[in-house]
Structures are given as C-alpha cells and as structure tokens.
Amino acid sequence: MKRLAVYCGSATPADPRYIELAREVGSTLAQQGIGVVYGGGRLGLMGALASSALAAGGEVIGVIPEALTGARGQGGEVANHDCTELHIVADMHERKAAFTRLSDGFVVLPGGVGTMDELWEAVSWAQLGYHEKPIGVLNAFGFYDGLLAFNRHMAEVGFVRPAHHGIIMAETELDLLLTRMRAHEPIVPIVKMDPKTL
C-alpha cells in the first residue's frame, strides 16, 4: 500500500481526542511510507491529518472541488495549499473517482455526512467491481459501533450478499487495521465495471 485515501471530517469536535487521532494517523502513515490522499482541506480532522503527515515527511495529495477552494470559515480559505499535490476537480463525483484512482485502499476516520458518502460509495464501487481495494474503518472511541451494527443488520436481512459481508474491515487500532488491509483478498463483485467510466 503506497497510498491510502483517508476519509474524515472537516469539523473540529469539542472532544480533543478526534483531532489527536487524525494527527496520529497522519504521522503514522508517513512514518510507514504510506502517502495520504484526502479531501484537500485545512480544517478539522482533515487539516490535522494533512499537517501531521507533512510534518513527518509524508506525501499528502489533496483533492478538492473547485467550489470549495475559496470557501471561507474559521479564519480563511478551506483549500490546503501546503499539500505535496493539490488537485482541484469539478465536483464531488470527480473527487471520489480521483480518490479511487490515486489510492491503494481507503481508511475511514470519524466524520459526518460527507465521510459517510465517501465510505458507502467506496463500498458500493467494490460491490460493482469498480475497484478491488481494501476498505478499513478505524472505529476509535466506539464512534462507528452503530454503523457497523447497521451494516451487519443489512447483511442479516439479506440486502448484502454473503460474499460481500467482509468488505468493511473495522478495527479500533490503526496498526491492526493496516495489517488486515495489507492481507486483503479481493471479493467477487456483482459485475465487473470499467473503472475508466467513473
């Protein structure tokens, strides 16, 4: 795994553990020689992830829609121009396609609606054969307990095929998650879509 797309929130929760988690993930990935592909922002968990990875000498590739580059809040521009590379794309779909194209897998940290959108799109695209990359959820502080229970419920009811039950790998520790992701075996998709059509 040379690069991982890291999905996380652009908010700064009151609980400082979330920002600290993002910093730890950024520095750990950099120390392990794994580049970070992320949403290109400088706020919240996104910004903490990127700044810590850069400070540790890591590669950081930001991908941000043009409409967000000039958005203002919390003291300035959202786009992080300190990245190793900053890709400015047309829209959110092109952003997620770039995440998939540029990375060897996906790691999901705590986040909100945008993070959920990115996670489920990665899962859906795995089911449809757009990619064969591992999808890992870092379930720190039990943040994703409910989501993982819901995912199991969908499978138990029959909305997720048995062959796809293990698409989402979840661990509470980053090292354990990365170990599982490195050992990832591609699933048999529903169909085999052409990634070039994304």
Within a domain: 45: yes
Rg (CA), the chain: 16
pLDDT of 198 strictly over 80: no
Give the CATH number for residue 16. Answer: 3.40.50.450
Question: Residue type at 59?
Answer: E
Give the tens place of pLDDT for each residue, 5-19.
999 999 999 999 999
pLDDT given for residue 93 in this prediction:
93
Give the tens place of pLDDT for each residue, 54-103.
999 999 999 999 888 875 554 445 899 999 999 999 999 999 999 999 99
Question: Residue type at 112?
Answer: G
pLDDT given for residue 74 in this prediction:
45
Give the tens place of pLDDT for each residue, 156-165.
999 999 999 9
Range of the domain at 44: 3-188
Within a domain: 197: no
pLDDT given for residue 194 in this prediction:
80
pLDDT given for residue 72 in this prediction:
53
> How far does CA 59 lie from the centroid of its chain?
15
Within a domain: 194: no
Long-range pairs for 183-192 at CB < 8 Å and ≥24 separation? 184/105, 184/133, 184/134, 186/132, 187/126, 187/127, 187/132, 187/163, 188/163, 189/126, 189/127, 189/128, 189/129, 190/127, 190/128, 190/129, 190/161, 191/128, 191/129, 192/129
More confident residue, 30 or 189: 30
Q: What angle do CA 127, 129, 132 make, to 5 degrees?
A: 90
Within a domain: 195: no
pLDDT given for residue 75 in this prediction:
42
pLDDT given for residue 181 in this prediction:
98
Number of domains present in the structure of the chain: 1
Q: Taking all residues of the chain, what is their mean pLDDT, rounded to a whole number?
A: 94
pLDDT given for residue 33 in this prediction:
98
Cβ 57 vs Cβ 50: under 8 Å? no
pLDDT of 113 strictly over 90: yes
Residues for the chain: how many in total?
A: 198
Rounded-to-10 torsion of CA 89, 81, 173, 138: -30
Q: Which residues contact 120 (CB under 8 A, 6 or more apart)?
A: none
Residue 187 structure tokens: 């699933």
Within a domain: 64: yes
Give the tens place of pLDDT for each residue, 19-54.
999 999 999 999 999 999 999 999 999 999 999 999
